[in-house]
């Protein structure tokens, strides 16, 4: 990996010069001049079609971005330890052993046992991914009810426990250090809610700190690898609650779909790799066209929690102002990520996307669950790209167009395709971090506020 600033790369200079042309170009003209643009500027991965023809770029841009990737030493063969969690038979022995334990325990819990409510206690990456999977795929083949509590606002846990019977409630506490303030506050509150019952049968801990979990009173402990950050941990025992909800077989499909994208990313050159293209086009928009935000627009109710998951994945990983060498960066890094499910987002922030003063690149995600949704996804992408040239309309009804977007089409909405989709974004983020020379796996920016809050509560501030 090249740890010099990316601005020192020859390709960066070439891209900056090349961008001057695209800052003046129009997408409508680009399509008119190339009837096959929609075919040429597209790529495929297992179960995925990525159409980037509505981005402000051309084949020359992609070639220069590929040069940048090469100069940065982008390593597609080892993009992070989390990929080993979904490597199937090639996974390390400890990973396979943990997955086998998860299978056995999940099968036992999903039967007609004592537990009727499972409450997942975790925050950040220890909650967003598992909650997304449960919400997207639904509870299958079990009578257990599932709830999540991530905030130490008492109302969050109270709502997760509403209607639950302490005798038949199981808590899964997910914290790598078993010291996360919000998670431990909820875990202690849950133990108090149990009354005088023995806590051990009611608590499963998922952690890298087994002694602390045992001292708390957890009856069972599933290990978390210390080398995997929370936002990349869905594929580990952090996803145990999701496995219990959707079933071990569906969870295995989730892992298999992600592994297919891992193999694609490792084998395909940047010009043909969907996650590499997503990363490079994001860098093009941020660093050369000046985009400060990025919208994620999934056109499926099942994916309504995806934007929240990606907010953490992208902004916690690459929202950095210091590079791997401790130098302040002289270039933009992660954009602000936001979004909502289609078509509800069309009635809120998409007004700004169409007619606001800033251009916000967008990802339209379409798993083809409904013809109306698919039609709206395509219509919104076209409206952003082409606007309307009808000068008979009053100014407030005109759309300037020329707003870039990409479209991600999935085969269907199921566990395997959800795994593929999440892995696409993970590889995108790690690749961007490598090109920006960032450590995508730390998150010191979240620590200062926690320390100051502790000082305030203790009277030291």
The 8-class DSSP code of residue 407 comes to E
Rounded Cα distance, 193 and 158, in Å:
10
Task: Yes or no: say if 149 and 126 are a contact pair by the CB < 8 Å rule.
Answer: no
Of 205, 303, 251, 255, residue with least CA distance to 110: 251
Q: Can you give 300-336 as a three-state secondary structure string? A: CHHHCCHHHHHHHHHHHHHCCCECCCCCECCCCCCCE
Query: Going by C-beta distance under 8 Å and a sequence separation of 6 or more, which residues neighbour residue 191?
Result: 199, 203, 216, 217
DSSP 4: S
Catalytic residue positions, numbered: 316, 347, 450
Tokens at 50, concatenated: 């990525």
Cα separation, 25 vs 3, whole angstroms: 33
Q: For 417-428, b where at least 16 C-beta lie within 10 A, e where not — what string?
A: bbbbbbbbbbbb
Question: Minimal CA–CA distance to 337: which of 289, 286, 293, 283?
Answer: 293
């Amino acid at each position: 990996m090249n740890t010099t600033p990316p601005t020192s790369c020859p390709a960066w200079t070439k891209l900056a010069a090349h961008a001057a042309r695209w800052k003046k170009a129009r997408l409508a003209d680009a399509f008119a001049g190339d009837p096959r643009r929609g075919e040429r500027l597209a790529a495929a991965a297992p179960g995925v079609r990525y159409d980037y023809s509505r981005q402000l770029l051309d084949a020359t841009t992609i070639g220069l971005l590929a040069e940048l990737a090469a100069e940065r030493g982008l390593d597609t063969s080892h993009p992070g330890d989390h990929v080993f969690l979904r490597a199937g038979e090639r996974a390390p022995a400890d990973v396979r052993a943990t997955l086998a334990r998860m299978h056995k325990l999940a099968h036992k819990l999903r039967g007609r046992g004592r537990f009727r409510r499972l409450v997942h206690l975790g925050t950040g990456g220890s909650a967003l991914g598992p909650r997304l999977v449960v919400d997207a795929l639904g509870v299958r083949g079990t009578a257990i009810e599932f709830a999540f509590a991530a905030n130490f606002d008492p109302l969050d846990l109270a709502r997760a426990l509403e209607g639950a019977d302490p005798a038949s409630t199981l808590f899964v506490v997910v914290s790598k250090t078993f010291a996360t303030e919000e998670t431990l506050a909820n875990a202690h509150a849950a133990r108090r809610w149990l009354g005088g019952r023995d806590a051990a049968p009611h608590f499963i801990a998922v952690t890298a700190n087994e002694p602390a979990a045992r001292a708390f009173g957890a009856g069972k402990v599933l290990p978390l690898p210390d080398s995997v950050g929370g936002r990349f941990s869905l594929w580990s025992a952090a996803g145990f609650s999701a496995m219990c909800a959707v079933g071990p077989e569906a969870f295995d499909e989730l892992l298999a779909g992600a592994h297919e994208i891992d193999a694609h990313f490792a084998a395909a050159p940047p010009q043909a790799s969907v996650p590499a293209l997503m990363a490079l086009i994001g860098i093009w928009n941020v660093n050369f066209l000046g985009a400060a935000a990025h919208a994620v627009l999934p056109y499926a109710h099942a994916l309504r929690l995806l934007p929240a998951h990606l907010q953490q994945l992208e902004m916690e990983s690459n929202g950095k102002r210091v590079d791997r060498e401790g130098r302040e960066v002289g270039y933009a890094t992660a954009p602000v990520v936001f979004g909502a499910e289609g078509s509800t987002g069309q009635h809120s922030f998409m007004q700004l996307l169409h007619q606001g003063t800033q251009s916000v690149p967008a990802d339209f995600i379409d798993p083809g669950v409904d013809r109306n949704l698919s039609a709206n996804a395509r219509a919104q992408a076209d409206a952003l790209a082409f606007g309307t040239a009808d000068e008979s309309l009053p100014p407030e009804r005109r759309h300037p167009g020329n707003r870039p977007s990409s479209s991600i089409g999935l085969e269907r909405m199921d566990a395997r395709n959800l795994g593929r989709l999440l892995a696409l974004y993970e590889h995108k983020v790690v690749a961007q971090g490598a090109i920006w020379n960032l450590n995508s796996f730390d998150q010191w920016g979240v620590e200062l506020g926690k320390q100051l809050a502790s000082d305030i509560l203790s009277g030291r501030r």
